[in-house]
Structure 1
Amino acid sequence: MTTRALYCPQNRELDLSELSASDYRLIRSLRGRLHRGDRVLLCLEPVEPGQDELFVQESGGNCYAVHFDGDRAHLVSRESDEHKWQKEYWYRAAEDAGHSAQVQYSTRRGTVLDVAIHAAVRTGVELRRAHTNARVAADRTAKAHRAGWLSLWFADADHAPSWFHRIPSVGYNRISWDALPPRRAATATGLKEVEPVKCTIRAFDRCPAGKRLHCGEFHPDLKPWRGVTVDQVAAMVPAGRAVALATSRGLVYVVPRESLDRYQELTGRTGLYVPGPDPHAAVPVPARQEGASPCLECKRCGQDLLLIRPGRELCERCHPTMRSDR
């Protein structure tokens, strides 16, 4: 069950399972104050359309966001020590590299970046867990892109989540996050380098260019980019010295800038990753009238419309949905 919710007064998306201290206090302050029709806190992936309104209650010492319709509840939790120290690790690495960084940075698209690195390439680090599905990750990445940010997702060490290599992502070796690890303690994984390899039966199962037989020409082969620390990634990606490469199969890898140049020379493709819907996820397309274009941005403030409704052109903050009679 999703933990993504929309806090309408600020038109801001929250992950109820990993709230910052301030957001946790905010949600707890809503206990006993929400009524059906207020539309203050909404589930972004309700099981049934229209059953998205939430209220907040405590039970057994825990805080829950509960659906008015039905008894489904979302546990409201503070961020873990691991999440807190990972944010601090990326922040410190970016600052050490001479970049300006901020934690919990809010974009104008309803998303909050765990760490925002202000540099030649504005980079937003997303510290997400395996329960985040590929469609949600692709959607968040696209929203950040529209706000002028390249999202870089940091994966769990235990296993690769469904979004790994569907969007710009980096893993790390297993280390303890009980406290802030020393500098350069986290080794980056999942990075690639492009090498030119001659098209032979020994090198490739089939011709990467789609020819019937192995053509004998050189094609890009993606090899692990080893010996890179997370600290170096925090320095290179914002500086443009490491970039996100999208292959013809729709996979996305962080590579050195020169590897992207080599890929372009070998394939004739740009190879540069541009965020969009996850090509491997089944995303339902809402029905709309012939020739009508859905409004995706608030016409008053420019933020994303996180709730798409027929004829709606303003976000929840600029024009709250009409309250129902009590």
Structure 2
Amino acid sequence: MKGGHGVPVMALPALGGGLGRSPYDSKTRNMTDSSASVNSAISDPLQIAKRTIEVERDGLDVLAKALVEGTALGQTLKDTITAIRSAPGRVIVSGMGKSGHVGRKIAATLASTGTPASFVHPAEASHGDLGMIGTDDLVLALSNSGETRELADLVNYCARFSIPLVGITSVAESSLGQAADHLLLLPKADEACTVTRAPTTSTVMMMALGDALAVALLRDRGFGPDDFKTYHPGGKLGAAFSRVSDVMRTGAMPLATLDTTVAEVVAFITQGGAGTAGIINGGQLVGVITDGDLRRHIGRDLLAMKAADVMTRHPITVTPDTLASDALGLLNRKRIQVLFVVKDGAPVGLLHVHDFLKEGVA
């Protein structure tokens, strides 16, 4: 789609021109009356809710089919990703009403997945917030009709300062559609509420397209779990991407040698408070002794025995770089409560199932 930088500024006041029509004028009334007669056949709330989801799902199906190699939308999406990657600044997302709410979510998703982004309200932009948009930025504007009046100054601003403009709209011939350097044209789909034509399917499609952009960009950037954890240090998401090094116990660990007596090992286990002791040889972890190991060897001479006679050899271990969630999964699968953390075979930490609970890893 031809860019807005070649569109005369005087051509843009048409934005919003189609919004003055009453939804109850004669042309629209005929359509909504017809839709109402169809919808009136369904009165059960659950059936209406189910039908709403089905219509929105159909919209997503149409959108997915339009995002394939060789289609206009597929090619534009690839061009948009290249444009965003090439922009030295941020992605500035803007939209009015329901499109604005979707735009805020898209901006938040982009920012949290490695693409710096901010939301600028189009009405506030006309009263000074245009100053938030730099010439290194790229603007992503959302308007289902493409004729949102409040976007006019923002579109003019992009044209004046040669700021790349990406438009998401359902109408290619609209003012936004004609002004956009990259037009992400939503395929035709019915709104879930045909009586009022309230934004439903269209906003779902916008949201999905924004998610598609964000995920494609993060994969293109090589954005991984460690990067995601940087932007999500709190809550369940942050905990899910914690590493063992973030959770493990360090400092004095319950460690003994092969020749240590079981009586001394019991003292180490008691002092350690984790129900286990590690057995080392030449600095390497070669075994563990747990309460279970002691019970299995109970007898008159147990306390005089050596650690090497009682220990479980080749213990299960993890490294500091292991995802905490993976380590917890290992504990659950093996039905154990404690793991030693090793680096190059040497013990550097200890993990107890309670440590995961304290950090919110589940």
Coarse TM-score class (shorter-chain normalised): under 0.3
TM-score (norm 2): 0.23
Q: Which one has the bigger helix percentage?
A: 2
Greater gyration radius: 2
TM-score (norm 1): 0.25
